[in-house]
Amino acid sequence: MQSLHPHLKRASWIAFIAGLTVFLFLMIYYGVGDIAAALAVAGVSGLALIAASHLIPLANEALGWGFLFEPGRRPAFRTLLWGRWIGEAVDTLLPVAQVGGNLVRIRLFMKLGWPATLIAASLVADTTLSVVTLIGFTLLGLVMLTTYVAADGVVIPIFLAMLVLGVLIFAFYLAQKRGLFGFLARLLQGLVGPLDAAVVDGANAIDEQTLDIYARRKDVLFSTFWLAAAWALGTLEVWLALRLLGHPVGLFEAFLIESVVQGVRASAFLIPAGLGVQEGGFLLMGAILSLPADVALALALTRRVRELVFGIPGLLAWQWFEIRNQWRVRSGTAAKGSESPRNMP
């Protein structure tokens, strides 16, 4: 990703290598053969079904994002779903420090004719609300976990991590309310000298449009509802996967696993796709819920299979769009900034 700062790219690669090392260690320590045997129980059709279940929370995320656009200026649902899918593919499969997906989404929608500041503002609010709902989802799971089993050694560290994340996201929200991007533009001017007027104006426009989004409280509430529903519906993937792996659990236990694992993964947001950390989360919850280690890691691998099933076509769709857009530019049929934005066909 050329848009990422070199230092951020380097840190992301280091985090990726560290996560990959932990991942490989867990696979080898608990036995690749045993884990593969447990995973094979689901079969190819079972893994495909598990992957397909991800469409439900993905659609909810797209709906939540859509409410952050003004009525009458909202992209079609299929376009929102397309953008969400490609953004998730980038964040999941590329070492881009969990910011590359949003940068790609801005680029794609700009090429469709949508104003960059509008898309950027919607993604700032979307990221904020996504993290807020994730914190609530994980904290609810931790409360439920304490009623299910004594697990202070698990609950307290994750609770503290969520508390820190909550403080950070609250600070991020306050910074947005006070003109974060305009401040950053002015700060950059002080460091490197005068910036292009368009850059400063764009930063101020993002601030203004972000504030406009938060002022539409009803839309923010609807967006929060759909994003929270997306986290909760991820429970179905865990429930279905364990059933197909031959170790069925109830929706309550599946909710515990999903909420805690998502919290653990979020705590290690610098590691691309939570590689190694996510597997550790599944292993931890498997131990608490008396799942064999090989089954817990097989469950973790169903998540990785799903990420590949969705991610690889997502990256290919992104590249196909870029190639097709270049052809449209050469042929003079690409969307111009003065034209109405278009949606995906």
pLDDT of residue 5: 56
In the prediction, which pLDDT does 148 show?
A: 75
Which portions of the chain are predicted below pLDDT 50?
1-3, 337-338
pLDDT at 231: 97
Q: Return the residue matching tokens 């996967």.
A: 241
Burial 322-345 (b: 16+ CB within 10 A, else e): eeebeeeeeeeebbeeeeebeeee
- Cβ-based neighbour number of residue 259 at 10 Å: 28
Please, is 136 exposed, middle or buried when counting C-beta atoms within 10 Å of its C-beta (0-12, 13-18, 19+)?
middle
Q: How far is it, in rounded angstroms, from Cα 83 to Cα 110?
A: 12
Contact 276, 22 (CB under 8 A): yes
CA-to-CA distance for 302 and 241, rounded, in angstroms? 7
Say which residues have a Cβ less than 8 Å from residue 121's Cβ, sequence separation at least 6: 205, 206, 209, 210, 212, 213
Domain limits of the chain? 7-331
CA–CA distances in Å: residue 194 to residues 59, 146, 208? 43, 55, 22
pLDDT at 100: 82
pLDDT of amino acid 2? 43
The per-residue pLDDT for 6 is 60
DSSP type of residue 248: -
d(C-alpha 187, C-alpha 173), whole Å? 19
pLDDT score of 35: 81
At 193 the pLDDT is 58
Residue whose token pair is 């949606």: 343
Q: What are phi and psi of 151, to 5 degrees?
A: -145, 50
The pLDDT of residue 97 is: 60
Q: Is the dihedral of CA 250, 251, 253, 257 positive or negative?
A: positive
Residue 129 to residues 22, 74, 197, 216, 285, Cα–Cα distance (Å): 30, 18, 31, 14, 26
- What is d(CA 106, CA 169) in angstroms, rounded to the nearest whole number? 21
* pLDDT tens digits, 211-235: 999 999 999 999 999 999 999 999 9
What's the pTM value of the predicted model, to 2 decimals? 0.87
Count the Cβ atoms, other than its own, within 10 Å of residue 192: 8
Residue in this structure with the two tokens 């050694």, named with its chain if needed? 153
